[in-house]
Amino acid sequence: MAETATVTVELPDGETRRIEADAGAVLRDVLLDTGVSPHGRYARRLNCGGRGLCATCGVRVADPPDPDHWHDDLADRFGYPRLSCQLRVFDGMAVRVLDKRMWGTRAAGDADDGER
């Protein structure tokens, strides 16, 4: 039996959800399975399908794990959202789904960082 992890998800409208998922599952898949799209509104239908190529599934992660994908390494280094398709769920994970048109922007102060 797989270990269960609790993920706290803050949605763009400010609503917060707690999701139970298998520890180690791909965050993008967990979000989509629960009806939460990590993609911007223009990329919900046209995206790379979780291959880490289109950069449209970015989320902000509180206390993110060390990056193990080239895009997440650059995102972590320069303050861009991390790709949910390249993150594995762990217990206590907290993520913020962004209101963005496509990819998102760098974190300036993260209060109202201009994500659209």
**β-strand partners of 95:** 9, 61
103 found inside a domain: no
Domain of 73, in residue numbers: 4-97
Q: How far apart are CA 106 and CA 85, in angstroms?
A: 19
Q: Is residue 39 part of a domain?
A: yes
Angle at 55 between CA 17 and CA 25, to 5 degrees: 45
Residue 114, in any domain of the structure: no
Give the number of domains in the chain: 1
Residue 83 lies in a domain: yes
CATH at 91: 3.10.20.30
Q: Is residue 105 part of a domain?
A: no
The pTM (predicted TM-score) of the whole model is 0.81
For residue 111, is it within any domain?
no
Tens-place pLDDT, residues 44-81? 778 888 888 888 899 999 998 888 888 888 888 898 89
